[in-house]
Structure formats: C-alpha cells, structure tokens
Amino acid sequence: MSLPPTVANAAPGRGHLLRLAPGESVVTLDRHLALGGFSAVRKALVMGPQAVADEVRRANLRGRGGAGFPAGVKWGFLPKDSPKPRYLVINADEGEPGTFKDRYFLERDPFPMLEGMIVSAYAIGAKTAYLYVRGEFVKPIAMLERAVEQLHRGGYLGKSVLGSSFGLDIHVHPGAGAYVCGEESALLESLEGKPGRPRNKPPFPAVVGLFGCPTIINNVETMACVRLIADVGAERFVAMGLPKDGGPKIYGLSGHVKRPGLYEAPMGTPLRKLVYDFGGGTIDDRPIKGIIPGGSSTPVLGSEHLDVAMDFDSVKAAGSMLGTGAVTVFTEGTCAVRLLTRLAAFYAHESCGQCTPCRDGTGWMERVVSAIEEGRGRPGDCDLLLSIANQIMGNTICALGDAAAMPVIAFVERYRAEFEEHVARGGCPFEGGHGHGHGHGHEGGNP
C-alpha cells in the first residue's frame, strides 16, 4: 500500500495541507512541532469554544468528505440543551474509487488532522472523539495508534489538554471493510459494533448520533482545514479559496495523465490547470475522452468542461459534483462501456442490501452493462439502464444508491452512441474487447 508517485504542492515549498518536503516521507511529531505544531490548539484554548466555532463558520469551510456541507453550519445543529455527552467522529473510511487524499494524512502526516480533531472537539464540547479508519489501512492504523499515544504522553490529549481544563480522548477504530461504512450513519452503526447499515434520517447525527448522543461527523481533510482556520483565522482561510467556499483543497489526479498524484491548490482552481499544469497533460498527449471530477460516483464531464472551476458550486453548475476532488482522466481509445462495467460492479458489490432499489438495481445495472460490453446487449438497453438508474435515484435510505446511479446515467447520456454500437455489432469495438456477434441475450428482466 503506497501513495501514487507524486505528492506535490501546486506552490513551491510546503503547502498548507500537503506539507511533505522533497525527500521527506513522514512528518513526525518532532517535525510537526518544529513546523509550529499545536499553535492552533493553543490559540483555540485562548479563544474559547464558541469563538472557535464562530471562526469556522465565518471561514466558509465546506466539508471535504464529498457533499460539501458547511462545517460551521453542521456544528450549529447540535442541540444546545441536551444533557447527553457529545461525540466527534472523524470519517477516515476513504473508499470511493479514485479518491486517495485522506490517505496522505493517515500514512504520512497525521498530526494536522489530530490537531484539528482537538480544536473541533473543544469547539463543539466533545470529550471523546473517534477516528474511524478504513480497515484495509492496516499500517496507518498502527501508526495512528502510536501517534495518539504520543499525544497522550506529551499532554496534548488526556484529562487536561496542554494544562487546560479541557480534556479529550481519541480512539482509533478500524473500519469494517465496506464502502457503505463511509456513509456517516452506517459508520455510526459500525462504530457501535453493529453491521454497517445506514440509518433513516432525520434524525441527523448532530441530534441523535453515536450511542444515541449528539454527534458531529467530519472528514479527515476537513479536520486539517479546521486546524488551519484556528491557526491563521477565518479571513486568511477564505482568502486561500473562494468567499463562499474557503481554503485550499487537496486535489487528486489519476488516470491517463503524465503526473498522477495529490496537488494542493486554492479551492476553485480550474480543471485545465489541474490536468495540464499539475498533471502535465495526458499520456502521449492523447485527446481527453472524459473526466470524472470528484470520485467515481460523480457524473463524467468532457473536455468542454476544462475551464470549470473546481469548487462545489461551479462543478454542480456544470452538471456534476466536486465530490472529493479526485479527478480521473481518461483519453480517446478507452471503452466507456468497459469503464462503466468496473464502476457498476463496484457499486453492486458494495450495496448493503437494505433498500430494494439499490440492492436489486445495482446488480441489474451491472448485468446489463456487462452484457453490452460482452456482446450480449439488446436494443433498448440504454433506456433500460436509464430507467433502472432513475428508479434508484432518491429512493434509498442513503446516497449509495445515487452514487451507483449517477455514473450510469452520465455515461449512457454522454457515450450513448458507443453503447449502441456495442449492441449493434454484438461486441466491444475497442482493443481487448469481448467477442462479436455470438451472444445469447442477458437476463434483463427481474433480477
């Protein structure tokens, strides 16, 4: 398990979030301290919880887990008068194909995230915080446990954080090995020791969360941003991005680009800059066929979208989603149908089975897309796919259903002619594709 070759900052030198200097592989606690570590916690303890929460709200920090919900607003949903304890839960389950940004913090630079957790727990009044880490990240989990232990020994955690009256414990919890456990309410179920099945909402976790208590769930990168806000203040944070979408963003680049990797840049950096300046353009300078802008569930865009600014509102206006900012580029010569078979198989495998439209629909979509790719497609399959996907959209307890349906809709709409060509010629026209014309039809009826 290792990160792609390039972990780079858009600006020369250390970034605000990506801090690894050339040749450095891990930022240790000593190094973190040498870089001014825990100044954010010290400042927060002087400001007081409400002032920290206000600062985060003013910074217009939008959650980095995918949905882009403003962190300060979410914190404001905590009931003011509940006698129950409050919990902070950090979502480090990172399972969306194409997304590998949180791993940077988990594997290489955990202290900004941990510091952000201390600041956030202080601001929301939590005395216990959980770090729910994707179960497959075996080495990072061991490293994070050591990091938390170091913080306890150093007086940064425990009964009295840096000698103050504020106490905090952080528990590292290995995830249950399922993508759906990244969905916040499934994560809470899993953390409680139950199967990771999403809960009906409302009530939202801020009101009824972990063990029935008010709970804030935020993403790893969101925590690193909270630390930055406490350190430099809301105004400077906003200036690092956009007025309504503050701060720097870690973008991931993968697929057919010359320099895949992680790049820190201001929120709202144009897609073209990411692909061509940071990524060095496409392999062999081939024309772009499609760009998945924010993790595999986000609707695919085309080269006509290269000037779209990569922030939550702009990508939405372009018909897709910023999601996790994990950009996957594929060039001409890539079979769109084959690409979709991989995505459809992933979502079918990861459906938890709780809701009928998702349980049956994801498997059905996978079978139809595979049949088209393998030369067993039938006329009308494109409309069948759109019909199944549209019956999943909005009809499930959690957003995994939408996540499975959106790429199907976007791929069929954008590459419909290619799907139909597969059906017409009875196979894949691309290199390495499946055989032609000897199919027997797929089971497109009731699954």
Ligand X SMILES: Cc1cc2nc3c(=O)[nH]c(=O)nc-3n(C[C@H](O)[C@H](O)[C@H](O)COP(=O)(O)O)c2cc1C
Residue in 55, 115, 183, 373 binding ligand X, rule: CB under 6 A: 183
Q: Cβ 424 to ligand X, closest distance in Å?
A: 35
Selected binder of ligand X within 94, 311, 366, 418 (CB under 6 A): 94
Among the listed residues 17, 60, 87, 91, the single contact to ligand X using CB under 6 A: 91
Asked if residue 93 binds ligand X (CB under 6 A), the reply is yes
β-sheet bridge partners, residue 90: 131, 218
Query: Can you tell me the distance from the alpha carbon of 361 to that of 348, in angstroms, rounded to the nearest whole number?
Result: 8
- Name which position in 18, 27, 56, 63 contacts ligand X (CB under 6 A): 63
384 vs 403, which CB is nearer to ligand X?
Answer: 403
Give the pair of three-digit tokens for residue 2.
Answer: 């290792």
What is the 8-class DSSP label of residue 26? -
Of 15, 95, 255, 279, which one interacts with ligand X (CB under 6 A)?
95
Instruction: State the residue for tokens 């954080």.
Output: 161
Cβ of residue 128: shortest distance to ligand X, in angstroms? 18
Query: In this chain, which stretch among 66-74, 147-155, 205-213, 269-277 interacts with ligand X, using CB under 6 A?
Result: 66-74
Angle 377-380-383 (CA atoms, 0-180°, nearest 5)?
Answer: 115
**Using CB under 6 A, which of 121, 123, 141, 217 touches ligand X?**
217
Which CB, 210 or 384, lies closer to ligand X? 210
Q: Which of 171, 168, 172 is nearest to 155 (CA)?
A: 168
Please identify, using beta-carbon distances, which residue of 190 and 314 lies nearer to ligand X.
190
Can residue 69 be called a binding residue for ligand X (CB under 6 A)?
yes
- The CA-CA-CA angle for residues 309, 315, 321, to 5°, reads 140
The pairing of beta strand 215-219 with beta strand 169-174: unpaired
CB of 298 closer than 8 Å to CB of 251: no
Find out whether 437 and 423 touch, Cβ atoms under 8 Å.
no
Which one of 143-151, 180-188, 269-277, 433-441 is the stretch in contact with ligand X (CB under 6 A)? 180-188
- Closest contact distance (angstroms) between CB of 105 and ligand X is 12
400, 405, 423, 428: residue in contact with ligand X (rule CB under 6 A): 400
With respect to ligand X, which residue has the nearer C-beta, 64 or 256? 64
Residues 132, 105: Cα–Cα separation, whole Å: 13
Q: Which of 59, 144, 180, 288 binds ligand X (CB under 6 A)?
A: 180
Q: To 5 degrees, how large is the angle CA 92–CA 97–CA 101?
A: 45
What span, in angstroms and rounded, lies between the C-alpha atoms of 205 and 126? 14
Give min distance, CB of 89 to ligand X, in A: 9
Binding to ligand X, residues 340-399 (CB under 6 A): 398-399
Phi-psi region of 13 (alpha: psi -120 to 50; beta: other; left: phi over 0): left
Contact residue for ligand X among 19, 64, 101, 422 (CB under 6 A): 64
Residue 51 contacts ligand X per CB under 6 A = no
What contacts 418, CB < 8 A, 6 or more positions away?
335, 336, 337, 429
Exactly one of 11, 47, 51, 67 binds ligand X (CB under 6 A); that residue is: 67
With binding defined as CB under 6 A, does residue 273 bind ligand X?
no
Please tell me whether residue 401 binds ligand X under the rule CB under 6 A: no
Q: What are phi and psi of 303, to 5 degrees?
A: -65, -20
Residue for token pair 């990168």:
221
Return the structure tokens found at 246.
């503050």
Beta bridge partners of 301: 291
Amino acid at site 288? I
* DSSP reduced 3-state for 321: coil
Among 9, 120, 219, 351, binds ligand X (CB under 6 A): 219
Closest approach, Cβ 392 to ligand X, in A, equals 13
Instruction: Enumerate binding residues for ligand X (CB under 6 A).
Output: 63-67, 69, 71, 91, 93-96, 179-180, 182-184, 217-219, 222, 398-400, 403
